[in-house]
Amino acid sequence: MKTGIDAIAFDVAKLHLPIKTLAVARNIEPEKLEKGLGLLKMTLPDAHQDTVVFGANALTKLIQDNDINLGEIARIYVGTESGIDSSKPISSYLISLMEQKFGENVLSECDVVDFTFACIGAVDALQNCLDFVQLNPTKKAIVVATDFAKYDLNSTGEYTQGAGAVAMLVTSNPKIISFENQWGVSTKGVFDFFKPFRTISKQEITGNANNESWFDNLETEIEIHKDQPVFDGQYSNQCYMDRTREAYFSFKKQKNTTETLYNNWKSIVMHLPYAFQGRRMLSEIYALDAATPIISGDENAAEYQNKLKEISKSDDYKTFVSEKLQPAELASSLIGNLYTGSIFMGLLSTLAHFYDSKKEITNEKFGFLAYGSGSKSKVFEGTIQPDWKSSISNVSLFETLEKSFEIDFETYEKLHKKEQKQSIQDPKNEWILDRIETKIPTLIGARYYKWID
């Protein structure tokens, strides 16, 4: 029996800032970002949007476009690193909103939970749901990846921002792609990218050393939440390469083959913090797993890195990138980083590319190289199913992205600083964050959402 993704839907922030506009404002050569990193636009949430909104919009589209009977859904698992509460998961909000729209108690027997492991959380959710369906073939599950990749103004990650969600129906005998039950894994506990609890002494805020109550805070330290991470870009890139390489060869060992794995993959889908990240990171695996290894690892560090640079510039590697990696990069260039949704948007981008170019890929294998900072990589593969075209025919990925609304730099900074309180675009046929409770003591901070026709 096969298990995999039967249907897929997405929601992406409808506002974008051209990368060229950001580059000019930050005194960066636009070509460095556009041609060097593959960045064209970065999407940004409007004032009425957050990760619950994106997840709910993607999930609503999945349900409506595929006539899903919610009584058949046994679990809705969410992958995110943009949680809005340290206790109440996004998945519990999604249950509430779907029942608000499709009927009270229609999902009351559905299991929900959030998975958090940086950008790989939704892959963990997918693996868990695949295992569940494998054991329960008549059951169905949904995976939602929803995130907002936000970085500090003027930081080296600023130009990789993005926001949106991807929702996937997981079933037996799927229409789009089935997955093998083999997963290469590599894990290390490191600090390449993380979102810590940050604190500031109350005295620094109030000027009072007596630790008097301040907005009901009795502690001497005030915890500060920031969506923006602490990160070391160069170190994070190295962790990405190390974990992915280790997971790749772990997967190859499980396959018990001496053949070059990537030669069997029609396309390769990777986590893309920026569009060209995959092609920059994969040259090492490309060289090590070649029929005749191009590098051995015996070279000294400087020589090894120089050889990798030469390989990445070779005509053979450029052809490899064009054939196997580029289709997944297309949407990333127009959206930015989706964190947990990035690898699945790469899958959708690849499918849409082949669909729009009228190329048949039935029975072709796709390779997936997932990564999450902290750090972990999972490598796995799937086979495209005969009904893949019918299942994505109404997704309209690139047509939707073309309709994105361009904002200017001043508006971007106001949105980033949360100075922009009014929506830039009037919401239509979507969920919105309606209000956050500020007065009722037992509901302080509760978030309320509603559907706008």
What's the CATH code of the domain at 289? 3.40.47.10
Q: For 340-377, how does the pLDDT look when each residue is reduced to its tens digit (9 = 90+)?
A: 999 999 999 999 999 999 999 999 999 999 999 999 99
Q: Which H or E run contains 319?
A: helix 315-320
Sequence-distant (≥ 6) Cβ neighbours of residue 264 within 8 angstroms: 365, 367
171 with 199, same domain: the answer is no
Residue 269 pLDDT:
98
What is the pLDDT confidence band of residue 294, given thresholds at 50, 70 and 90? confident
Q: For 27-66, how does the pLDDT look when each residue is reduced to its tens digit (9 = 90+)?
A: 999 999 999 999 999 999 999 999 999 999 999 999 999 9
16 with 48, same domain: the answer is yes
Structural domain boundaries enclosing 209: 195-227
Q: Which residue has the tokens 């005295």?
A: 203
Cis, bond preceding 250 (omega within 30 deg of 0)? no
Compute φ and ψ for 347, nearest 5 degrees.
-65, -45
Radius of gyration in angstroms for the set of CA atoms belonging to the chain, rounded to a whole number: 22
Q: For 179-226, how does the pLDDT look when each residue is reduced to its tens digit (9 = 90+)?
A: 999 999 999 999 999 999 999 999 999 999 999 999 989 999 999 999
Q: Is the pLDDT score of 236 beyond 90?
A: yes
Poorest-pLDDT segment among 290-294, 334-338, 396-400: 290-294
209 with 294, same domain: the answer is no
106 with 204, same domain: the answer is no
Do 364 and 152 form a contact (C-beta atoms < 8 A)? no
Residue 297 pLDDT:
67
Sequence-distant (≥ 6) Cβ neighbours of residue 426 within 8 angstroms: none
327 with 199, same domain: the answer is no
Q: Is the pLDDT score of 305 beyond 90?
A: no
Residue 295 pLDDT:
80
What is the pLDDT confidence band of residue 436, given thresholds at 50, 70 and 90? very high
Sign of the CA dihedral running 223, 54, 81, 235: negative
Total domains in the fold of the chain: 2
E runs forming strands in 22-158: 41-44, 73-79, 111-115, 140-149
Compute φ and ψ for 321, nearest 5 degrees.
-65, -45
- Name the residue type at position 273: P
46 with 93, same domain: the answer is yes
More confident residue, 260 or 216: 260
What is the pLDDT confidence band of residue 303, given thresholds at 50, 70 and 90? confident
Q: Which two tokens stand for residue 247?
A: 């997971």
Q: For 130-166, how does the pLDDT look when each residue is reduced to its tens digit (9 = 90+)?
A: 999 999 999 999 999 999 999 999 999 999 999 999 9
Q: Is the pLDDT score of 286 beyond 80?
A: yes
Please state, as a whole number, how many other Cβ atoms lie within 10 Å of the Cβ of residue 50.
Answer: 24
369 with 338, same domain: the answer is yes
Do 76 and 112 form a contact (C-beta atoms < 8 A)? yes
Please state, as a whole number, how many other Cβ atoms lie within 10 Å of the Cβ of residue 28.
Answer: 15
Q: Which residues of 273-297 are buried (b: 16+ CB within 10 A; e: fewer)?
A: bbbbbbbbbbbbbbbbbeeeebbee
What is the pLDDT confidence band of residue 241, given thresholds at 50, 70 and 90? very high
Q: How far is CA 164 from CA 14, 104, 265, 312, in A?
A: 9, 27, 27, 31
**Mean per-residue pLDDT over the chain, rounded:** 96
- Name the residue type at position 108: S
219 with 331, same domain: the answer is no
183 with 200, same domain: the answer is no
53 with 187, same domain: the answer is yes
Q: Which two tokens stand for residue 207?
A: 């000027």
Report the residue count for the chain: 453
184, 203, 227 - which closes a domain: 227
176, 207, 227 - which closes a domain: 227
Give the separation between CA 311 and CA 296, rounded to whole angstroms: 13
157 with 239, same domain: the answer is yes
Output DSSP code: residue 88: S
Q: Is the pLDDT score of 298 beyond 80?
A: no
Report how far apart the first and last C-alpha atoms of the chain are (Å, whole number).
Answer: 41
215 with 95, same domain: the answer is no
E runs forming strands in 173-312: 177-179, 184-187, 193-194, 198-201, 221-224, 230-231, 267-270
